[in-house]
A and B are shown apart, each in its own frame.
Chain A
């Protein structure tokens, strides 16, 4: 029997329903992953960014897009606990992974301590950068036992805020760390 090419194997595996006219790269892809603690199984366009997928298909509009070139951090989500620019990822890349968005932080009406401190400290103005910043802070405080000021700066340097001047954002992060018992 003639050896099948790997690509052919893939072709056989993939489902062909929902085929679009734009070309081969838009074959729907079967994506299974965990989103904000829930298992999700969804047919996605593999050329769709994770950002668009979350906003359009999952209707989670808390994750924002602002520069679409990885420069502003508005689109941060956590993938397996690490901060990532969802505008720079294709949806299928989170196959089997655990994704947390801003919508996944609060437990019902009970805000995450970082969200709480952002509101309390006036770190929110227009609010467009806020979800991304909170996700960056979440990643930082989850992965550093006792962040120093320098580590805070490194952890937050990928997020542009045009309104606040960052001072209150830094204060919110430090207060959240304090509250979590993380600060040195």
Chain B
């Protein structure tokens, strides 16, 4: 069956009833590709493309709220560098008009460009179901290869992003456009920091509780180097402690290289990905420090 709800409530009720036997389809770029290969991914489609209250982009107190149907094309026009660049690195213009950020999160591809940029931004997702609404930091969203924290009756209704970060994005593929990344990197630095390196404050003797209040100031996320898009927490902590300068960046790069666990596949070998990840991280951080 094909359902085309007009509201979030209607969509959630459908999903609550159909559970695993129903799948949300927004842009369709992940589901329809399977169908073209003769695979039927689900018995019931819940088409979100006509849900009106999933389209908004709002800004509240320095936080950007993107509703679930915000596409890569829309994200490509946002003033958040790493997200906009990541979004514009997805497919061609047609795919960017179809594919959504929320869909990119939900499909949880290790190469997810949107997911990776959002991870670096420390985005928060709003997960809704007929049972209610919960919020989750994105860092807790990806569980394992193509597995997320989404319950069978839930959908991503909102993505919240802090806007006051300096960010950037780099992606390496085998050609000039329409790439699935060999490696992609997003970095974000908290406001007012990062210039002059040593001015990055050190989070002293932080307790578990205060860590939540004072998260690491530099965030590094990578695609295609692990079963899920991943954050490099150790490298981030190292930089938060030691500040950003040419020397610490080089050390952080080595930490990144040891943190990631890419596999050899038909796109590239693991050792090249490890090398490349370091180059891209170093270049992005150096560029941000300079800026």
Contact = CB atoms under 8 A, between A and B. Distances in A.
Direct contact of A and B (CB under 8 A): yes
Given A85-B98, A88-B98, A93 B93 contact: no
A92 B4 contact: yes
A25 interface: yes
A95 B4 contact: yes
B62 interface: no
Contacts, number: 126
Contacts of A79: 97
A90 B23 CA distance: 14
A46 interface: yes
Interface residues of A, number: 42
Interface in A53-80: 68-71, 73, 76, 79
Contact of B43 (A25, A84, A85, A159): A25
Interface in A88-111: 88-90, 92-93, 95-96
B36 A49 contact: yes
Contacts of B33: 68-70, 88
Interface stretch (B24-32, B113-121, B132-140, B242-250): B24-32
B84 to A, nearest CB: 12
A83 to B, nearest CB: 5
B18 A24 contact: no
B93 A136 contact: yes
Nearest to B15: A6
B259 interface: no
B49 A88 contact: no
A153 B118 CA distance: 26
A90 B93 contact: no
Interface of B: 1-5, 10, 13-14, 17-18, 25, 27-29, 32-33, 35-37, 40, 42-45, 47, 49-50, 73, 88, 91-95, 97-98, 176-178
